[in-house]
Chains A and B, each alone.
Chain A
């Protein structure tokens, strides 16, 4: 079939024009703006980047994103894996998986309200209408805690809400990979006298490594960009700031476009290598299929 010269470009034109305007141009422009002052008038060299790595607020944001990477990623991936393997062994698998996956359907803003309500605080002499404080005061006879205000509990509280949303995603992907393992392999190991624990570590885990890598990197990218949950629940107050929320603040509250651009570039640089690896792995899997 001979293709008329111009036809492919006719098919591609709308997409290419929009991509050029909405992605290519802004990326280059943001890169450029990150070397200028808050009104984008005066060239300031690396000043915005130096600020990004030295200011107190940004350091708190980096620390919190690191906390998110360590705890959010390890908990979502391991819990997702445990659920995928365990749910496969019961008859009500579909029901359990639906319940765990359900939060993926709702917005982070909605989930933020749900969890703010769980963490609701009332003074000790008033009835506790927040579930967590009701359990805390009822079971342990302790004083109620402002979970989202207290500096030692607020980051874990936000991360818990994030875990609640994303575990279902990890579980569904890992479950698909687990079901792809030939059952004869597991049977053979059992016949050879391996117990379930040894089978999990020796057979299942190595076979699921590629999928675990994809899920883990996807979760890391999610964490680097985490915004909605923090914005809705604490707006970064009481030392819960994260990078993406900080960028929003620099942009809209302080109107410092230089700093906001520098933060965006840092975010991009952190994400690119992880994303690139992820897409390559996806392509390889496609190729195998």
Chain B
């Protein structure tokens, strides 16, 4: 008995630190969530933590903030824009990268190594290096402020990492499989669609989640290429402009921020394993 008690005492600091940090990490998000459901007057006159005293009181909570930011403040439109931007910006680069990665992994051609090194080398390029010349071309071609423009931009920025990741994964598939397939008369195209893609579902899923969240959460690329165009603004852009225009209207800002976080949080909880794998692989992305 004494042994158990002393062991517990010895482990007390461990539990205190872990639970303390866990709580500390959760608190800011809880504050945001709680405030987004409180009426404006309550948010202005008391801290969100005071709701603990009247949890049973229905008058303390409201959905009006969400109604207002989704309709009057345009977050609903921005949510749709985010989807329109993110889905093609995830599918296009992965599809293009898969073909290129297959060529790098399993096809023989001159300059294969050199070319792959160049592609990987492009991982080091910070986005900032590309903004000015591209924006000029975009203005010229009238691509600035259009969905097509931002799909292409995200495709360009996402490609080096996608090719790098998929080439490593495809290259690690057992050689025997390919030799058997080719002996049976399979072409490269058959091997790619029937063999490589089905076997690479985990890698493709991790990559897709990574790219999806990267685009969904991106502010800089949207800011540059969609800039002032309200009509096409995604959530991050809209949220940033609300921060400037609403200032201290915390009941609206908190609701708006939560709308922008909702989908990533669902992805996070539903697909945590792929999510973590994607993030880990993304450690090298520039």
Contacts and interface: CB of A to CB of B under 8 A. Distances in A.
A23 B31 contact: no
A18 B124 contact: no
B183 to A, nearest CB: 9
Contact of A8 (B35, B109, B250): B109
A109 B256 CA distance: 11
Contacts of A5: 109
A205 interface: no
A77 interface: no
A178 interface: no
Given A15-B97, A104-B279, A225 B47 contact: no
A204 B210 CA distance: 30
Interface in B77-134: 96-97, 99-100, 102-104, 107-109, 112, 115, 119-120, 122-134
Contact of B28 (A16, A108, A118): A118
A181 interface: no
Contacts, number: 274
Given A101-B276, A276-B124, A26 B47 contact: no
B213 interface: yes
Given A11-B103, A18-B152, A172-B279, A129 B44 contact: yes
Contacts of A228: 219-220
A25 B133 contact: yes
Interface string A1-32: 10101011101101110110111111101100
Given A90-B18, A102-B268, A164-B28, A114 B129 contact: no
Interface in A106-120: 106-110, 112-118, 120
A284 B227 CA distance: 41
Contact of A282 (B107, B128, B284): B284
Contact of A99 (B25, B279, B284): B25
A286 B283 CA distance: 14
Given A117-B32, A275-B124, 13 more contacts: A19-B159, A19-B160, A26-B134, A110-B217, A112-B243, A113-B256, A118-B28, A127-B46, A127-B47, A168-B25, A232-B243, A244-B128, A275-B286
Interface of B: 11, 14-15, 17-19, 21-22, 25-29, 31-32, 35, 43-49, 96-97, 99-100, 102-104, 107-109, 112, 115, 119-120, 122-134, 152-153, 155-157, 159-160, 163, 168, 178, 182, 188, 213, 216-220, 223, 227, 235-236, 239-240, 243, 248, 250, 253-254, 256-257, 260-261, 264-265, 267-268, 272, 275-276, 279-280, 283-284, 286
23 contacts: A3-B107, A3-B188, A15-B99, A16-B100, A19-B119, A23-B156, A27-B130, A33-B132, A86-B18, A89-B11, A95-B22, A102-B265, A107-B264, A108-B217, A110-B239, A110-B261, A113-B253, A113-B254, A117-B28, A130-B47, A264-B129, A267-B128, A279-B123
